[in-house]
Amino acid sequence: MRPLHVAILDEELPYPPTSGKRIRTYELLRRLADRHRLTLFAHRHADATEAVAAEEAFRRLGVRTVVLPRPLPRKSGAGFYARLAGNLLSPLPYSVALHATPAYIAAVRDYAQRHAVDLWHCEWTPYAHILRAAFGPHLDWLRWTVMAHNVESLIWHRYARVEPQAWKRWYIRRQQSKYERFERWAYSQATLPIAVSDTDARLIREQFGAERVAVVENGVDETAFRPQRDVERDPYHLLFLGSLDWRPNLDAVAWLLEEILPVVVAAQPRTRLSIVGRRPPAWLRQRCRQLPYVQLVADVPDVRPFLARCGLLVVPLRVGGGTRLKILEALSCGTPVVSTTIGAEGLDLQPGQDLLLADDPASFTAAILEAFRQPLEMQDMAAAAGDKIRHRYSWTVLARRLDALWQWAAHRPLSTPIPELSRPL
């Protein structure tokens, strides 16, 4: 396998690694940076301090960065809603149109004219449109991959199922339809779409007509996420972990606070909940201040102390796609998990053996109370699952998988089969 020049298109430099998507991208790229010449295109972070730290982090890795000077607009305020309304006139989904700025397209086109690139890699599905806009009919001659962190149209479908307001459901379904058309083009035209689970790969093949789809799962740093034997767990301490600027996580938090937690607290007054994540909105800050048994902790540099002390990670997701790194990290730390089926989707985990699953408020509440009653059994369950996680989902193994897929996409005749590396059992 010879070194490649890979140009990577992403929304932001994935540093600091404080969200699932950032963690995945950073962990894989830092393991491939010494094997390949990597150039990473991104919008600048809105936070100036974070922007400097991110560029320095990738400079240390030897990754060249092409950073667009203007950050992406915020997902709030009058301007945000005006952009949503304006998108009604566009054939593209909102996030695709928003991210494909003229400056980004021009930067990609200019770089291609001055450098020989072996492979273009879209680190999020919407960025495939930037390649289409930059290269037009010449895109057919490019070798390019697209990383499907989620099947986006599936997320919009799930949004519509849980949205109570009719006008919002109408808008969401329009976004779903736009994404279905866009993903059908992106997945069928890419040299190789890459999913994060076999479940998503099957959907991409069957629903979007992709002839070939590879899988590189989400993973865990098995050296960093390990049980801390010298820290005592509080069995009644619940932890919700996730980016609080991502709508599926906000839906999950709202569902937890309004329909599940009050019943749990009434049955077990010692219950307390920590909500840990980046960029919480104002409404969530206000709601948490009203609840004496809830603590909101924003923008922490390291989630491991929280995973070590809590008795249970709760993952009440009703909307989402891809797979949850937080479940892998929690189990690798020996932290028990209660999740919905959607929350644990795509992971090689067995309900009742590796974690508890529940999909409605009554059963989710019952699962939490059951975990309260048998904390030692839950910790034994998590410890056994953690051994499997650290072996099955190592970032080092997954980076080798992505390396082989890049080599195939860049050089092999497309008639040859996708390389199938052995997976740990």
The residue to which tokens 């930059």 are assigned: 134
Does 367 score more than 50 pLDDT? yes
Give the DSSP H/E element, type plus range, for residue 353.
Answer: none
* DSSP secondary structure letters along 289-312: HT-TTEEEEES-S--HHHHHHEEE
- Please give the DSSP secondary-structure letter assigned to residue 351: B
CA distances from 312 to 59, 189, 341 (A): 38, 43, 17
> Looking at the structure, do residues 269 and 387 belong to the same domain, yes or no?
yes
CB 302 within 8 A of CB 356: no
Instruction: Tokens for 192, please give them.
Output: 């190789």
Q: Are residues 29 and 163 in the same domain?
A: yes
Dist. CA 319–CA 242, nearest whole Å: 13
Whether the per-residue pLDDT at 422 is higher than 50: the answer is: no
- Residues 94 and 145 placed together within one structural domain of the fold: yes
Which residues does 422 contact at the CB level (< 8 Å), separation at least 6?
A: none
Mean pLDDT in residue range 49-58 = 96
313 and 381 housed in the same domain: yes
Q: Is the pLDDT of residue 137 over 90?
A: yes
What are the helix (H) ranges across 209-348? 247-255, 261-267, 282-289, 304-309, 325-332
Structure confidence at residue 75 (pLDDT): 84
Q: What is the DSSP string of 82-111?
A: HHHHHGGG-SS-HHHHHH--HHHHHHHHHH
Q: In which band, very low, low, confident or very high, does the pLDDT at 17 lie, cut at 50, 70 and 90?
A: very high
Check whether residue 241 and residue 170 sit in a common domain. Answer: no
CATH classification at residue 204: 3.40.50.2000
- Co-location of 91 and 210 in the same domain: yes
Place 2 in a pLDDT band, splitting at 50, 70 and 90.
Answer: confident
Please give the residue range of the domain that contains residue 99. 5-219+394-411
Q: Residue 422: inside a domain, yes or no?
A: no
- The tens digit of pLDDT for each residue in 174-189 reads 999 999 999 999 999 9
User: How many separate domains does the chain show?
Assistant: 2
Do residue 382 and residue 347 come from a single domain? yes
pLDDT digits (tens, 9 = 90+) for 223-247: 999 999 889 999 999 999 999 999 9
pLDDT digits (tens, 9 = 90+) for 244-276: 999 999 999 999 999 999 999 999 999 999 999
What one-character DSSP code corresponds to residue 269? T
pLDDT at residue 424, rounded to an integer = 39
In a domain, 93, yes or no: yes
The arithmetic mean of pLDDT across residues 367-381, rounded, is: 97
Q: Looking at the domain assignment, is residue 293 inside a domain?
A: yes
Res. 425 pLDDT band, cuts 50 70 90: very low
Torsion over CA: 364, 370, 373, 377 (sign) = negative
Residue 420, in any domain of the structure: no
Report the mean per-residue pLDDT for the chain. Answer: 94
Q: What's the CA gap between 75 and 84, in Å, rounded? A: 10
Q: Within this chain, do residues 259 and 325 fall inside the same structural domain, yes or no?
A: yes
Treating both helix axes as pointing N-terminal to C-terminal, what angle do 20-32 and 325-332 enclose, rounded to 10 degrees? 80
Does residue 41 have a pLDDT over 70?
A: yes
- 421 inside domain: no
In a domain, 257, yes or no: yes
Same domain? 117 vs 70:
yes
Task: Say whether both 46 and 86 belong to one domain.
Answer: yes
Residue 418 in any domain: the answer is no
Instruction: Please tell me the distance from the alpha carbon of residue 33 to that of residue 146, in angstroms, as a whole number.
Output: 18
- Model pLDDT, residue 59: 98
Task: Supply the pLDDT for residue 421.
Answer: 53
Q: How many C-beta atoms surround the C-beta of residue 265 within 10 A?
A: 18
Longest dimension (CA), the chain: 66
Terminal Cα-to-Cα distance of the chain (whole angstroms):
26
Tokens of 164: 């109570």
Domain-embedded: residue 224: no
Same domain? For 240 and 386 the reply is yes
Q: Based on the domain organization, do 168 and 26 belong to the same domain?
A: yes
Q: Which two tokens stand for residue 262?
A: 């009050």
- Total-model pTM: 0.91
